[in-house]
Amino acid sequence: MAGTEQQVGTAGFTLVVTDRAAQEVHKFITTEQVSAETAGLRVSVLPGGCSGFKYSLNIEERSLEDDCVLDINGVRIFVDGFSMQYLNGVTVDYVSSMQGSGFTFHNPVATGGCGCGSSFTA
């Protein structure tokens, strides 16, 4: 991972978002034309995918009442309680290569995964 990253934690929960990922999120927030004061990136884990769980990223206008809200690299990050247990220690990055570009996840607690890069086993 090149570039700097910022790690933020709350109540035993940490999440890392690289500068590149934060820059891309800012672009998406601008494109979606949502309020920069309340909008943010929802990082979540959903049941499914070929390995049992899959990552999900969505731009949302505001956080929900029970979300953990983090400010990482100038981006508001929303994480729900279910997802926190699977996202602790995860690094979210944005990579661009000849094969394509997109967000990637490095999860140190994942016990398995698959070739798609967005599904994992915990």
**pLDDT means per 10 residues in the chain (122 residues)?**
50 89 94 90 85 87 94 93 91 89 86 55 54
Q: Say if CB 87 and CB 79 are below 8 A apart.
A: yes
Q: What is the pTM of this model?
A: 0.81
Q: Say if CB 98 and CB 111 are below 8 A apart.
A: no
pLDDT of residue 58: 95
pLDDT of residue 9: 52
Domain positions in the chain are: 5-121
CA-based torsion, 53, 55, 58, 62: positive or negative: positive
Q: In terms of CATH architecture, what is 5-121?
A: Sandwich (2.60)
Name, in order, each residue with C-beta under 8 angstroms of 68's C-beta and a sequence gap of 6 or more. Answer: 10, 11, 13, 78, 79, 80, 81, 84
pLDDT of residue 3: 45
Containing 7, the helix (H) or strand (E) segment is strand 5-10
CA-based torsion, 2, 107, 14, 54: positive or negative: positive
Q: Say if CB 54 and CB 110 are below 8 A apart.
A: no
Q: Say if CB 108 and CB 93 are below 8 A apart.
A: no
17: its two tokens? 């978002």
pLDDT of residue 2: 44
